[in-house]
Structure 1
Amino acid sequence: MKNLVFGELNLSKEIEKAVSEMGFEEATPIQSQSIPHIMDGKDVIGQAQTGTGKTCAFGIPTIEMVEPSNENIQALILSPTRELAIQISEELKEVSKYKKGIRILPVYGGQPIERQIAALKKRPQIIIGTPGRLMDHMRRRTIKLVDLKMVILDEADEMLNMGFREDIDEILEKVPQERQTILFSATMSKEIMDLTAKYQKDAVLVKAVHKELTVPNIEQYYLEVREASKLDLLSRIIDKEGIKLSLVFCNTKKRVDELTSSLQSRGYMAEALHGDMKQSQRDRVMSRFRNGSIEILVATDVAARGIDVDNVEAVFNYDIPNDEEYYVHRIGRTGRAGKTGVAYTFVAGREFYRLKDIQRYTKSKIVLMKPPSLSDIEESKVNNVLKDLKNVIAKNNLGKYVGYIDKILEDVHLENQENYITTIDIAAALLKTLVTQNSKNDFSQADTYNYEDTGAEKGMVRLFVNMGRKDRIQPKHIVEAIASRTSLSGKLIGAIDIFDKFSFVDIPYEYVDEVLSPSKNFRIKGKKLTVEKANRK
């Protein structure tokens, strides 16, 4: 089944407008398969990993099917963690922002229940909740599910792994029997199938099936980089490698426009290509790309279909793709017609796990690359200038220019008779001038970012954590440990870097005192977690 564009899914104009503003052009495989069945009122089992767009796969039809005029709770979404509940809530609020009368509320542990009770008085029709807190509200009768029409279990396998089976049973046995039940899980274990058999009727199974992917013979690299430093890194690689023609992929139209504008302001010949452009605009951009008058084409996956340019030297995954197949399609744009090609993928924070998925499904080796330094770039530019100079010397058409050098020597000696200047000095000065003038970017102090620095981004403070890879921890463990014992929401926690014996985590400045309070007893897997300010280099 081919992926559908959102215009083919019979959605309301309000939803289409919201989705378009979120920057999405095409439904992902799991969305293309799930949305029509859910809209038809069928029970659905969706098998999909995180990062495949599954939230919108159930969120879009849920919002479409809720009746704004009915102020009772009509849809319940169960989530294993507070962080996921908040994330789902925020995404659904984006999707529903043009649908009047739709109210959405997340309920989870760690937040004062009185605040949630007050919010429930505003009569939300969609509740996203963790099992424990939801049951607490049901016992208090602050949440009543008598008019419930839909139940969605997101990351059902994770809920079972966390020991929520009894809670799920208790919740589902107390909600109306005549309802639509949707379940999403990354795996289809026996426990999951038992759950579906007990609580679903004639469920339709949909899954994002991975095709057998063949990766072309292209050099593949990934670079670990913070989001705020991606633009500098892209510029440095293009400058160091002297790349004349490249494709840069972003996941949304908004990102394409923003990046194109930033590259143009730095002096690059860059153009955008995405679904909001008229066909005549796309044709003009592609014509300029083919004839080399554009150096960098910044595009979305959908807009880049049909691009067939033989001399693309490099492909950049500025945003890591949501689907492994997209990765293969992207990097296949380089290395054509028997030429060598190279692909660079930028990975920020927790995206590293998606990169691992890509490597596993494509059975390819993506090599870690160290970001180029300013001295690397300068050396590369000198080499490029020297190469051009050798070509000029080989043509031996330098007669009148030798005269200019003699004139320069004479003038310099008249002005400064104490120092003896040679033709080598003149050549070195000219080389320096050429390299400086050919530099695309006037790197300011802010641009000379040290990628190995452990400092946090602006407005954030970097903290040291005494556990690392050897303790078998993941970023989610650190987020849950901190968010569960402080008022700091997991969504506000920044970059997390995990090393063998320790880790670093960025948190907003205003939460530092609370997180570092001696009264906080952070634990991961039963082991006490020590958190303190990281030392800057």
Structure 2
Amino acid sequence: METFQESELREDVKRAVAELGFINPTPIQAETIPMIMESSRDLVALARTGTGKTAGFGLPVVNDINVDVVAVQALILCPTRELCLQIAKDLAAFARFRKGVEVAAVYGGAPIGQQIRAIEEGAQIIVGTPGRTLDLINRKKLKVDLLDRVVLDEADEMLNMGFQEELNAILAATPENKQTLLFSATMPKEAKRISEDYMNDPAEISAGHSDAGNSKVAHQYFKIKASDRFALLRLLVELEPDMYAVIFCRTRREVDGVSEDLRFAGHAADALHGDMSQAQRDDVMNRFRRQRIKLLVATDVAARGLDVQDLTHVINYNLPDAPEVYVHRSGRTGRAGKEGIALSIVTGRELRKIRDIEKYSNISFELKDVPSQEEVYLRRALRFAESVKAAKLDDKLAGFLPEVIAAFGELEKEELIQQFLAYGLSDLSKHLSEQRTVQNDRRKEEKSKRGSGSFTRLCMSAGKKQGYSVPQVIGMINRKIPGRKIDLGRIDLQNNLTYIDVDSREAKRVVAAFVGVVDKGQELNMRIFEGGASIGTKPPRGKKKPKQFRAGNFKPRTKKKHRKGGK
């Protein structure tokens, strides 16, 4: 299938696709559409955000609805209200020339009565979030006994958000002879279990991971000190005044701090996170889609299902821990064949994450130099000059031109330009002059070159259930081994175990320092972890009691409250 017009889709669906401007299918669409339509076989499709998967399942769903049957024939489940509404909107666009095909969205945080009426009025396609969908099934308002297809979109995200029980209950209520389509960016064990329990010999397709580096997204990163994050963000935003971006932060508190500081600096920015009410989130998203907000600062959870066209940038204020999350984030720009830029602000300790992402997704990162304030001034001044040259004089204002010319009559050409520049960029000059200078973190780079360049994985017999956090683990290691700090890589905190990547030259030293150490009533039993087997060191002879590490003596580092202006 090289073009949509060559596909087996109905003519009225092809017409809708053509009017939407779609000509050539994306790789995931080219594989899924024929497979879904030509057989009733179940399908597992691994596809990242931005690969066009909605049309991949949506076009066959719209195409195959029987308009003579007034019953729900297709159910599409997705993780968030925002994604639910977006999918419903897309399907309605695909069905615009198919008379009798009705689409309804059902989700929490909205009056259930209106959604019940939409179902009763004959919607054949239901797009829903798991909680509200199950509620409607239990109320016997959503009847699923005549379902032909069930689609699980972003299955991994639904499972991450704790919808395992709801999904199991919904799938158990549906007919056995339906076609089940599972779309996911990753395949966690819970999603694997769904495919085994509720799918019959599914076909498997993978698209959008290995080719992530071949998209039109430029992946760039800046290496700085952690204290310079916001100062660098300000420079990047000022350097691109037309930026339309999502800025990802790790915590809700950081989202609020960054968005507030951007607004204080005169930028159209706002926050999106899980502590906001649904009405607040809807208001923010509506303003962002209309570009009244140009910079949306968000957490990953709040941004799930975010589908906004024409984003110029995605900025990682903090890199995510999982490479697949980075691919999700960066996939929100550079869509529909357009170019986009994914920028990441990275500290020396986070360089390993860059390498993990490159290995996972075939992405190639470019290290960029931090822009100077002078570079920002020059870029903005030239843009301002171009804007002034391109401006058109309104006829009403033209009548006052002689008086205005007379008002400037005493100024020479250079003086006039100087005054225009001073007036046009005065706010920029004021804000940047108050900001600290940001530099590339060369010191960290030199330190990494001095290191061994490789890590050894250690395993500790304690984890989340014993009350540990990553900062506590780092603090313990620094406390037990004074002097020069040991280079640490990834720290993977499990329920009862913690895996720690340390500089290979220091691995035995770390193991030796923790011999016999007990903390929180648990012997830590630090050892080298190799291929599922552990190699430890024996306690020294004559030692009767294990050393007691007092958690009370350790004060975990807390993130400093975000300072205004990046100072």
TM-score w.r.t. the length of structure 1 is: 0.47
